[in-house]
Structure 1
Amino acid sequence: MVCKNCVVTALSYTIKFEGSQNIALLPLVSTHLARRGFKASIRDRKIKIGEAGAKEFLDFSEDILDMHELTFCVDDGPWRPLSEMREILATSWIDELLQASAVVSYSQPIVNRERQIIAYEILSRFVREDGSLIYPNEVFDAARTRGRLYALDRMCRMAAVRHAKVVNEKVFINFIPTSIYSPAHCLQSTEQLANTLGVDPDCFVFEVVESDDVADIAHLREILAYYKTKGFQYALDDVGEGFNTIERLTDLQPDYMKLDIGYVRGVHADAEKQRVAQLFLQKAQEVGATPLAEGVEDEADFAWLREAGYELFQGYLFGKPSAIPQRELPPLEVKRA
């Protein structure tokens, strides 16, 4: 069963009237909405309306009400300044994207020290009705604003699991910890789909992203423990950046440690980046995590990281994300004297 957080239903807006001027004008606002055909309920100096009615309310009220004395909530959420309502209304397109399951799974190869493809990271791409792509950060920002992060993360995760059957190799799949309120409930569908497709749990590595937003580390541990008990592995992404410090690497003890791209690019010629890369490599080895360098674009960086002891590599040097899994690496460029 899919929880209500993952089902895209119409939003309702409740606007609270405060201030004598606003309260006196409440009947006028109510009459206008009714005349325009928008169903609204009024109780305790509050108006509850749907999305289209909320847009009409804003347009009509901006010139007659003191907007600073109005607050609103979406469904049963917290009260917020009315100034934030337009931002939420402007993201209504994300609902259409979710209802249409307009996600396409791309894959990017991950190689070993011998430049052999041994896994892929599955990346979500989103398409408009005309077939053009929408930038992922635009989609996730809209989902976060509108409270659709649960639904979006689930849609992407399920699509990635299906794509794993196509890839037929070990796959790394991103997930956002804050979008999972109950591991046993939210991740049950992931496990069931993998079983239905006949893909072994050992083929999946779930990658913690946006971990800087995780306030409840105990909850994150609960999620990772659930994955572990089901036979899945997990990776810590962007290690070295923000939240993902030496302490967090030690605390979570992932199966894979992905060094942040900021310490990969140009590492062959930067002593400070080399120091950090070696520091995280040593800690990864101590906790039993396989070290992976992401964002490798330069042969010299690859050579340095490989010599230092990194075992897996990902980046444009080996292949860009593509809708069809890349099975062979591009030929090495031979520099002529």
Structure 2
Amino acid sequence: MQCNNCSVLELEFEIKVMGNTNIEALPQIVEHMKRRGIAVKAKEQGLVVPESGAKEFMDFCHHFMETEQVLFRINRERWKPFADIETVMDMQWIDEVIRKELIRCHYQPIVDAHGKIYAYEMLARFQNEDGSVIYPGEIFPAAKSRGRLYALDRVCRMTAVKYAVALKEAKAFINFIPTSIYSPEFCLRSTTHLANQLGVNPEQLVFEVVETEKVEDLDHLKTILAYYKEKGFEYALDDVGEGYSTIEMLTDLKPNYMKLDMQYVQGVANDAAKQKVALQFLRKALDVGSVPLAEGIEERTDFEWLKEQGYQLFQGYYFGKPSPTPMEVDVALAL
């Protein structure tokens, strides 16, 4: 069984036409495509074609149809104006990045209150085949436009597990997009199998719900996290103040770690408003039995203030920037 969302098969475009002119032209278009050997499926007021066929339809549409009355969608997502179809096609390069796994990981240290390495966050880095860098600001919009966020999340997750082998006993924090998981048992089976195959202790892996995808279906998220827990993994919640505001909700989710966002960390030692948020967050984490982690630390004063309040884990440029190999932290500097 193969999940279309997690694979990088050729996209299918579902096209819907409206208006008498377009509807009358539709049968001729279908016949034309069949004569050209294009795998086209006719539907009421529309058709379904592979990407190569969508390009043919696009040329035909621009010349003979009223394009403002044509819609398209991929992967049963929402319908979009036909004018947006070129953007989806222009982003086809993302398919090769995913298919050929042109991804590597950098390690950013996470330390305890004594400056000792506790874990590393695994941060994905992307590149073209020629080795040139692709920035996250390019990669994620491209993946989203082509319905590839699911496939990208999977390959990033698998790559991070491979890179975790180098960590020995330190934990690895691995970002994941919960909305990319259709069925935890099916979608995450390959992750658990790879960890077992590589001899990575499940207790070393901490799966972190990323802040870029706001979770609306909390029951689905709980199902995912229950699966991780059953397999021996830990999990962390990011951006807690935004997505998980109540103690009751956090108690249900039972995160092992909660991350305080850098906007409340940087400058906290001298900002009363940030201190108030940081202390509320700390109480919330301790109330639900989570380890509080402050990320984005760049100044010693912020580290000292947060440590004095009771924060247990810390991450940021003050301790080390992401690097291609796991780096040690200068304990004297950290303390």
Offset, 1:211 = 7.0
Q: In structure 1, what is the equivalent of residue 132 of structure 2?
A: 132
Amino acid in the other structure paired with 2:65: L
Task: Find the aligned partners of 2:84 and 2:331 in 1 and give their Cα distance.
Answer: 48
Q: In structure 2, what is the equivalent of residue 210 of structure 1?
A: 211
1:54-79: CA deviations, max 9, x gaps? Answer: 23432442243211221223365554
Q: In structure 2, what is the equivalent of residue 109 of structure 1?
A: 109
Maintained 8 Å contact 2:244/2:250 = yes
SS at match of 2:122: strand
Offset, 1:309 = 0.8
TM score, norm. by length of structure 1? 0.90
Q: In structure 1, what is the equivalent of residue 171 of structure 2?
A: 170
SS at match of 1:213: coil
Task: Find the aligned partners of 1:291 and 1:282 in 2 and give their Cα distance.
Answer: 9
Task: Find the aligned partners of 2:114 and 2:148 in 1 and give their Cα distance.
Answer: 42
Task: Find the aligned partners of 2:326 and 2:307 in 1 and give their Cα distance.
Answer: 24
1:277-302: CA deviations, max 9, x gaps? Answer: 01110111111111110000111111
Task: Find the aligned partners of 2:334 and 2:40 in 1 and give their Cα distance.
Answer: 69
| Percent identical residues | 51
Q: In structure 2, what is the equivalent of residue 7 of structure 1?
A: 7
Q: In structure 2, what is the equivalent of residue 18 of structure 1?
A: 18
Range with greater deviation from structure 2 (282-291 or 74-83): 74-83
Q: In structure 2, what is the equivalent of residue 158 of structure 1?
A: 158
Task: Find the aligned partners of 2:331 and 2:32 in 1 and give their Cα distance.
Answer: 65
- Consecutive unaligned residues of structure 1, counting only runs of 5 or more, are none
SS at match of 2:258: strand
- Consecutive unaligned residues of structure 2, counting only runs of 5 or more, are none
Q: In structure 2, what is the equivalent of residue 196 of structure 1?
A: 197
Offset, 1:323 = 1.2
Q: In structure 2, what is the equivalent of residue 123 of structure 1?
A: 123
Q: In structure 2, what is the equivalent of residue 260 of structure 1?
A: 261
Q: In structure 2, what is the equivalent of residue 291 of structure 1?
A: 292
Distance of aligned partners of 1:212 and 1:148 in 2 relative to their CA distance in 1, 3 Å threshold = closer
Task: Find the aligned partners of 1:2 and 1:24 in 2 and give their Cα distance.
Answer: 37
Distance of aligned partners of 1:330 and 1:306 in 2 relative to their CA distance in 1, 3 Å threshold = closer
Q: How does 1:65-104 map to 2 (within 5 A)?
A: 65-74=65-74, 79-104=79-104
1:244-275: CA deviations, max 9, x gaps? Answer: 42444344221111101110011011101001
Maintained 8 Å contact 2:112/2:312 = yes
After superposition, the CA RMSD in angstroms is: 2.4
Maintained 8 Å contact 2:122/2:175 = yes
Q: In structure 1, what is the equivalent of residue 188 of structure 2?
A: 187
Task: Find the aligned partners of 2:195 and 2:45 in 1 and give their Cα distance.
Answer: 50
Q: In structure 2, what is the equivalent of residue 62 of structure 1?
A: 62
Task: Find the aligned partners of 1:159 and 1:24 in 2 and give their Cα distance.
Answer: 50
Q: How does 1:272-291 map to 2 (within 5 A)?
A: 272-291=273-292
Task: Find the aligned partners of 1:324 and 1:54 in 2 and give their Cα distance.
Answer: 44
Offset, 1:40 = 5.2
TM score, norm. by length of structure 2? 0.91
Amino acid in the other structure paired with 1:14: E
